[in-house]
């Protein structure tokens, strides 16, 4: 059952990839030659990741029991939609076409989250699993945006730095809120 759900999710992702015309890196040629190529590749990676997150969050909203957590996921879904739009602006400023490239890392994090949450029945435990999964996603995003900002500065693309920074700050704030909620949950249990 769980496996078939995962297969469906994977099939869905594959379909999405072709729809969104993801770029497959050549197997026999080295497509990333310069730091600018690498920067662009990483931008496309996070672009794909942000889009996958907008698809994963509705299910997390549905599964969350705690109202504050549900609300938090809803807020972050809207923010994540903004992150996609900001990346559209970044591509535009760089004079590049906005497109995604497969990001197996985010697919793995989301797959694992779906797998674990599918195994949990108790509402409080499920909320804890959702918080942990969401924090893994936020930390992934934080590391990506941190690198992108450093590279943008290094490569003279300072015009895109404020956009990337804004998103990074929202990811950090979300991570903080999740930590606060996780601690509150643990404290409630201990009381």
Which residues would be at the binding site for Fe ion (CB under 5 A)?
50, 80, 83, 141, 171
Q: Which residue is nearest to Fe ion (CB)?
A: 83
Distance CA 71, CA 68 (A): 5
CB of 127 to Fe ion, least distance (A): 18
- What phi and psi, each to the nearest 5 degrees, are found at residue 116? -65, -50
CB of 117 to Fe ion, least distance (A): 17
CB of 65 to Fe ion, least distance (A): 21
Tokens 């249990």 found at: 189
Closer CB to Fe ion, 32 or 173, in the complex: 173
Closer CB to Fe ion, 9 or 106, in the complex: 106
Closer CB to Fe ion, 32 or 77, in the complex: 77
Tokens 């804004």 found at: 166
Distance CA 90, CA 92 (A): 5
Closer CB to Fe ion, 7 or 85, in the complex: 85
Distance CA 32, CA 21 (A): 19
96, 42 in Cβ contact below 8 A? no
CB of 80 to Fe ion, least distance (A): 5
């Amino acid at each position: 059952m769980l496996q078939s759900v995962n297969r469906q999710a994977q099939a869905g992702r594959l379909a999405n990839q072709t729809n969104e015309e993801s770029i497959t890196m050549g197997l026999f040629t080295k497509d990333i030659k310069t730091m600018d190529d690498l920067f662009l590749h990483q931008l496309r990676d996070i672009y794909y990741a942000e889009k996958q997150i907008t698809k994963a969050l509705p299910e997390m909203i549905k599964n969350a029991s705690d109202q504050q957590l549900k609300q938090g996921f809803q807020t972050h879904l809207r923010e994540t939609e903004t992150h996609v739009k900001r990346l559209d602006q970044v591509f535009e400023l760089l004079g590049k076409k906005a497109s995604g490239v497969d990001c197996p890392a985010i697919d793995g994090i989301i797959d694992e989250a779906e797998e674990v949450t599918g195994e949990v029945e108790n509402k409080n435990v499920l909320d804890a699993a959702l918080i942990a999964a969401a924090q893994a996603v936020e930390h992934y995003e934080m590391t990506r945006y941190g690198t992108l900002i450093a590279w943008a500065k290094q490569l003279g693309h300072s015009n895109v730095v404020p956009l990337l920074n804004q998103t990074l700050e929202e990811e950090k704030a979300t991570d903080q809120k999740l930590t606060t909620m996780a601690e509150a949950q643990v404290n409630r249990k201990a009381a």
